[in-house]
Amino acid sequence: MTDTAHHRPGAGIAFIMAGMLAISLNDMLVKQLSGSYPLHQIVFTRSAVGIVLSLGLVWAEGGWRILKTKHPFLHALRGLLVVISNMSFFAALAVAPLADVTALFFAAPLFITLLSVPILKERVGPLRLGAVLVGFSGVILMQRPWQGAESLEASRLVLLLPVLSALTYALLQLMTRKLGVTSKASALSVYIQLMFILVGALFYLVAGDGRFVDESSDPSLIFLLRAWTWPSGQDWLFLTGLGLNSAIIGYCLAQAYRQADAATVAPFEYVGLPLAVFWGWMIWGDLPDWEVWAGMTLIAGSGLFVFLRERAKARVVARSEVKGRY
């Protein structure tokens, strides 16, 4: 039985809404910087700044002792999943429109439903399974299989990167609920920031001089592996803002899934879709094609159905348990 301290749905919803707003700002800023700096430099700088704020939150939530954990391997694995999810998402973001990448990423709730069977030993009925299939049909629709590769704005490989991001994010959130019972949100955020710093530093040591790419390389690969560049004055402000924002994201998402169950919190992540459309239109003048609107509708609609169905089933189970006590 989960502690009642972790059953505050109002707080969970508030944290996830704040987190999604912060994520939308983060994605917009990363896309803005993607033409000038390598992804690993952005990630390293963002986390180096963000960990300072995260450590301040650690001190406020109980001091350095809360950084101790009995599950270092699981936290390291969770951090690695976050890194893979972020870097695959941002690599696609450098090439494809923000709304397209974000919509494909929202296959994550569908992956959560499927993965809950082998990982959490949950049963998924035919209605939820059907909704998952409908959602993945939206993913396929956005890949535009009837078009030739030369007519696509981004290659199909690039369009699969947000799907990889969704898969690793789903695994992350399934782990967060288990680890959140014994770890504070600020500690979870610090572990993630440390992993980003480590991976960013390793990328710098291996590829920081840009030796693995040239101007003829794929744009996503250039963004991932171009040489480090000393930021200009204005860009320092963007990078610092990204760092502060990353600490807010890590804290809000961890806190949201600690305060309430996934079926309550996850539907509110879909506020990220209209925010992505808004930033794409406001900053770059991009509006989704019909395939993206249709795919977005199928993915979001099926994801919301899955979570609403899970909530309905949870109420039935709860009523049955109450009746069984009398």
253-281 pLDDT tens trace:
878 877 877 667 877 888 899 999 999 99
Asked whether the predicted pLDDT for residue 121 surpasses 90, the reply is no
Q: Identify the helix (H) or strand (E) that includes residue 161.
A: helix 156-179
> 169: domain range?
4-324
CA distances from 130 to 113, 137, 286 (A): 11, 11, 32
Pair 138, 295: CB distance under 8 Å: yes
- pTM strictly above 0.85: no
What is the average pLDDT across 79-102? Answer: 90
In this predicted model, which residue has the larger pLDDT, 294 or 153? Answer: 294
Helix/strand number for the chain, H first, E second: 13, 0
Assign 3-class secondary structure to 118-159: HHHCCCCCHHHHHHHHHHHHHHHHHCCCCCCHHHCCCCHHHH
At 150, the pLDDT band (50, 70, 90 cuts) reads low
Q: How many domains does the chain have?
A: 1
Pair 94, 220: CB distance under 8 Å: yes
What is the average pLDDT across 301-312? Answer: 79
At 324, the pLDDT band (50, 70, 90 cuts) reads very low
How much is the mean pLDDT over the chain? 83
229-238 pLDDT, tens digit each: 998 878 988 8
Q: Give the pLDDT confidence score for residue 76 in this predicted structure.
A: 83
Q: Give the pLDDT confidence score for residue 315 in this predicted structure.
A: 57
Asked whether the predicted pLDDT for residue 73 surpasses 90, the reply is no
Burial of 25 (0-12, 13-18, 19+ CB in 10 A): middle
Q: Give the pLDDT confidence score for residue 188 in this predicted structure.
A: 79
Asked whether the predicted pLDDT for residue 297 surpasses 90, the reply is yes
Q: Give the pLDDT confidence score for residue 318 in this predicted structure.
A: 44
**Closest by Cα among 165, 42, 41, 150 to 100:** 165
At 179, the pLDDT band (50, 70, 90 cuts) reads low
Pair 58, 67: CB distance under 8 Å: yes
Q: Which single residue is written with the structure tokens 């969970």?
A: 12
Two structure tokens written together for 114: 């499927």
Decide: helix, strand or coil at residue 232.
coil
Asked whether the predicted pLDDT for residue 291 surpasses 50, the reply is yes
197-215 pLDDT, tens digit each: 999 999 999 999 999 988 7
Asked whether the predicted pLDDT for residue 321 surpasses 70, the reply is no
19-60 pLDDT, tens digit each: 999 999 999 999 989 889 999 999 999 889 888 888 988 898
Among positive and negative, which fits the CA dihedral 153, 225, 29, 79? positive
CA–CA separation, 202 and 244 (whole Å): 22
At 298, the pLDDT band (50, 70, 90 cuts) reads very high
